[in-house]
A and B are shown apart, each in its own frame.
Chain A
Amino acid sequence: MIFRPARFLAAAALFAPLLAFGQKNGCIDCHSQLDGDLKAPVAAFEADIHREFGLSCRDCHGGNPDTDDIALAKDKSFKGAPAKAKIPLFCGGCHADPAAMRTYNPALRTDQLSQYETSRHGKLLKAGDTKVAVCTDCHGVHGILSARMPKSTTFPWNIPQTCGRCHADKGLMEGYRIPTDQLDEYMASVHAKALFEKKDLSAPVCNDCHGNHGAFPPAVSSVASVCRQCHAAAGELFGKSLHKKAFDDMGVGECDACHGNHKILPPSTAMIGTADGAVCIQCHDEGSRGFKMAADLRRTLDGFTSGYSEVEGLLSLARRKGVEVGDAEFSLQDVHTTLVSAENLTHGLDEAEIAKTVAEGEKALLGVRTAALGAVKEGRFRRQGLAVTTAILALFAVALALKVRRMGRTRRDEAGPGVPGPPSS
């Protein structure tokens, strides 16, 4: 047999990755034969993001995976499982080290640990409370996924459950004197609806207001800034309104005073006014100027809204009668935008501005109403036209029937062909 170096090299190059893959890992070999908690990390680690970057057991836990001997494997460098209080520093060993992180993902931030230390969780941990959340409580242990993966515990639509796992647990929260209904309240909110029904990933979840690594209950003064991230127009109007100073003086949060916090429901004009369920009467007593203005505002908006729903009703009536109303519906969409902006203007409390917008909307609505009435009239016209035509056709049918009967009788009488000519001149 002749030794062919070229072939040998090619074969070696081909099988080298296989060899590397099959390289033995003492940790995994051993742990995969154990039971329960000692075996679980092996399976979970399969999907872990750290594994994708080529990291293995020893990179976190130390030790020597090259040996089968347990005693030898747990050498000087072996760290084992860290105590819970030590976990932030354990993860931070790499994640707070820009030099280390640059090797794997230079774009990843490295301030999680320092943020954590400023968070309520971090402060309590420092004070010796080990019941608080550490890295692994939110991210998992072995089997950590990137927050961009839909199955990750830190993906937007999993976050409410991730936080709720502890914060909705009455027993766990007992010592902290904080409520446990935030999850239920959030799940009833307009934001949860956007997230779970429309799959709108931009809808806020817990961390969008509270922060994540630096999680902290937002202060009264900062709530409004959080909301303004998306609700800028309402925020701007509010900032210019009389309420701004009044709320600041009273030390009341801006948006949450009327809209609440976790259970933010879709807004409606029912929130304005002096009836039950209106938020204005929380502060404004009967007889005050604010009370009167609340009632006025409500009346103005109700007038517009009822006019709007009337036209909507007319259009649906016409549609049910089979009349094509696509154009009118398009125009109504415009009016709807005006209606929404009038409702939004209530944040600014500028009565003149609101009245102006409502007047504009009502003027546009008038045009749509004319079109809608026309469409309904068209529907009625079609039915009347049908009635008239049917009547004419019925007459014609009766005339034909009479003629047929008459001719039959004539034939029998004459018993001959005396065929009458066509209706002649």
Chain B
Amino acid sequence: MAQGVGRTIWEFLDERFLITELLGFAKKKTVPEHGRSFWYFFGGICLFLTGLQVATGGLLLLYYTPQVDAAHESIQFIMGGVKFGWLIRSVHSWTANILIAMLFVHMFSTFFLKAYRKPRELTWVTGFLLLVLFMAFGFSGYLLPWNELSYFATRVGTDIAGSLPLIGPWLKTVILGGPEVGQATLSRFYWFHVALLPVVALAIVAIHVLLVQTLGMSKPIGERGKREIPFFPDFIYKDALGWTLILVLVGVLCVFLPWEVGTKADPLASTPIGIKPEWYFTFMFSTLKIIPAHILSLEGEKLAILGFMVGGLLWLLVPFLDRRAGRGQRSPLFTWVGLALAAYIVVMTVLTYTVPKL
């Protein structure tokens, strides 16, 4: 009897959602297995962490107040007054940082395996867009607790946007919602962080995942092995194993190092020394600091910003630039460019934290 009801419901859903077809597709899907298939897992980890972000972020909305005079207090309340609030917030903050780190690893592993080559150009393009979007998530989310560090980091960050040629001052005003970091900025960043970005990012995540599913995993150039494992359930189980380990790491971090609330932002206070943006922006931030003031009669800082924009665009278009990889040939030039870029990012980030007066 119960089985009969179950079958009826199953058939009802199957007819409408084409579950059998989807399952059929999933059953046939395989993942290549070879010496470098380890790197495939980072995509899954990023997806999992994104899910955690959505879940914990949604929960934080319950108690967070996006008001200048209440934001900091509400975070304090979450950390002290709500059962497990400390956990939800710490998980949100810690996984956000781990997610960005994993996105970088995922991006560079994809780059070095040349997985962006035809027909996966758009997977790369959407992936890079996602990195940019998640960094924007980080930038906007950083201000929301309205503490001293985030307040001044936002001021410094938007000042950089304001120094862009032509559109700079206008752009800064639009970002801040006024001439100064204030209530308008907090409202804007809040909207950006919980309304606009999630919609856009989740849509692109959907495209990215759909592309990965339909095109399958890319096999590195020159990989001759033919061994493959079913995507479902073998690969999923392995993925789940990775997620579990990440969860343990997050748990330990949250219990032993709960994310700090900091002191409430005081717009009248003088800027604390050594103010830095979040670590994933420091390689750009430090570049702006050490670049000479003038290069060939051009302003160094503007040149650097322009350089980052052009560099980002070229990086976005890598699949179309790397013709050799597109033809299935090795392209050592791109490998070297990627290595140089990775080294640059690592060195500049480390320098930011080790050389105090950079």
A residues whose Cβ falls under 8 Å from a Cβ of B: 322-327, 382-383, 385-386, 389-390, 393-394, 396-397, 400-401, 403-404, 407-408, 411, 417, 419-420, 422
Is there contact, CB below 8 Å, between A407 and B237?
Answer: yes
Is there contact, CB below 8 Å, between B244 and A396?
Answer: yes
Is there contact, CB below 8 Å, between A393 and B86?
Answer: no
Is there contact, CB below 8 Å, between A390 and B251?
Answer: yes
Chain B residues within 8 Å of A382, by CB: 86-87, 255
The residues in B between 242 and 256 inclusive whose CB is less than 8 angstroms from any CB of A are: 244-245, 247-248, 251-252, 255-256
Q: Is the interface of A mostly helix, strand, loop or mixed?
A: helix
Smallest distance from the beta carbon of B141 to chain A beta carbons, Å? Answer: 20
Is there contact, CB below 8 Å, between A419 and B251?
Answer: no
Is there contact, CB below 8 Å, between B230 and A393?
Answer: no
8 Å CB contact of B237 from A323, A400, A411: A400
Is there contact, CB below 8 Å, between B256 and A322?
Answer: yes
- With contact pairs A417-B230, A422-B233 given, residues A393 and B248 touching in the complex (Cβ less than 8 Å): yes
> Is B288 an interface position by the 8 A CB rule?
no
A-B contact count (CB 8 A): 62
Q: How far is the CA of A407 from the CA of B255 in the complex (A)?
A: 35
Smallest distance from the beta carbon of B79 to chain A beta carbons, Å? Answer: 5
> Which 4 pairs, one residue from A and one from B, show the smallest C-beta to C-beta distance?
A324-B80, A322-B258, A386-B255, A400-B241
8 Å CB contact of A420 from B233, B240, B261: B233
Is there contact, CB below 8 Å, between B79 and A404?
Answer: no
Smallest distance from the beta carbon of B17 to chain A beta carbons, Å? Answer: 16
Q: Is the interface of B mostly helix, strand, loop or mixed?
A: helix
Is there contact, CB below 8 Å, between B76 and A324?
Answer: yes
Most B Cβ at <10 Å: residue of A324, A325, A420 = A324
Q: How far is the CA of A419 from the CA of B79 in the complex (A)?
A: 47
> Is B61 an interface position by the 8 A CB rule?
no
> Is B27 an interface position by the 8 A CB rule?
yes
Known A324-B86, A396-B244, A419-B232; 13 more pairs at CB < 8 Å: A322-B256, A322-B258, A383-B255, A386-B251, A390-B251, A390-B252, A394-B248, A397-B245, A404-B238, A407-B234, A408-B234, A417-B230, A419-B233
Closest to B33 in A: A408
Q: How far is the CA of A403 from the CA of B233 in the complex (A)?
A: 10
Most A Cβ at <10 Å: residue of B79, B80, B87, B257 = B80
Q: How far is the CA of A401 from the CA of B242 in the complex (A)?
A: 10
8 Å CB contact of B86 from A322, A386, A420: A322
Chain B residues within 8 Å of A411, by CB: 229, 234
Chain A residues within 8 Å of B237, by CB: 400, 403-404, 407
Smallest distance from the beta carbon of A90 to chain B beta carbons, Å? Answer: 48
0 or 1 for each of B60-85: is its CB under 8 Å from A? (1 = yes) = 00000000000000001001100000
Chain A residues within 8 Å of B86, by CB: 322-324, 382
- With contact pairs A411-B229, A419-B27 given, residues A397 and B241 touching in the complex (Cβ less than 8 Å): yes
8 Å CB contact of A400 from B240, B248, B255: B240
Q: How far is the CA of A65 from the CA of B147 in the complex (A)?
A: 65
Closest to B232 in A: A419
Q: How far is the CA of A326 from the CA of B264 in the complex (A)?
A: 14
Closest to A404 in B: B237
Closest to B80 in A: A324
26 contacts between A and B (CB under 8 A): A322-B256, A324-B76, A324-B79, A325-B80, A326-B76, A326-B80, A382-B87, A382-B255, A385-B255, A386-B251, A386-B252, A389-B251, A393-B247, A393-B248, A397-B241, A397-B244, A400-B237, A401-B241, A404-B234, A404-B238, A407-B237, A408-B229, A417-B230, A419-B232, A419-B233, A420-B233
Chain B residues within 8 Å of A393, by CB: 244, 247-248, 251
0 or 1 for each of B16-34: is its CB under 8 Å from A? (1 = yes) = 0000000000010000000
Chain B residues within 8 Å of A417, by CB: 230
Most B Cβ at <10 Å: residue of A394, A411, A419 = A419
Chain A residues within 8 Å of B244, by CB: 393, 396-397, 400
Q: How far is the CA of A25 from the CA of B286 in the complex (A)?
A: 60
The residues in B between 203 and 252 inclusive whose CB is less than 8 angstroms from any CB of A are: 229-230, 232-234, 237-238, 240-241, 244-245, 247-248, 251-252
Chain A residues within 8 Å of B229, by CB: 408, 411
Q: How far is the CA of A351 from the CA of B264 in the complex (A)?
A: 44
Closest to A406 in B: B237
Is there contact, CB below 8 Å, between A390 and B234?
Answer: no
Closest to A396 in B: B244
Closest to A423 in B: B233
Chain A residues within 8 Å of B79, by CB: 324
Chain A residues within 8 Å of B261, by CB: 324
Smallest distance from the beta carbon of A60 to chain B beta carbons, Å? Answer: 45
0 or 1 for each of B142-162: is its CB under 8 Å from A? (1 = yes) = 000000000000000000000
Most A Cβ at <10 Å: residue of B237, B247, B261 = B237
Is there contact, CB below 8 Å, between B245 and A419?
Answer: no
Smallest distance from the beta carbon of B133 to chain A beta carbons, Å? Answer: 29
8 Å CB contact of B257 from A322, A394, A404, A407: A322
Closest to A422 in B: B233
Smallest distance from the beta carbon of A410 to chain B beta carbons, Å? Answer: 10
Chain B residues within 8 Å of A394, by CB: 248
Q: How far is the CA of A383 from the CA of B230 in the complex (A)?
A: 39
Chain A residues within 8 Å of B87, by CB: 382
Smallest distance from the beta carbon of A398 to chain B beta carbons, Å? Answer: 10
Q: How far is the CA of A396 from the CA of B261 in the complex (A)?
A: 33
Q: How far is the CA of A404 from the CA of B233 in the complex (A)?
A: 9
- With contact pairs A397-B241, A401-B241 given, residues A390 and B248 touching in the complex (Cβ less than 8 Å): yes
Closest to A382 in B: B255
Closest to A411 in B: B229
- With contact pairs A322-B257, A407-B234 given, residues A327 and B251 touching in the complex (Cβ less than 8 Å): no
Q: How far is the CA of A324 from the CA of B85 in the complex (A)?
A: 11
Chain A residues within 8 Å of B245, by CB: 397
Q: How far is the CA of A333 from the CA of B6 in the complex (A)?
A: 63
Q: How far is the CA of A420 from the CA of B236 in the complex (A)?
A: 13
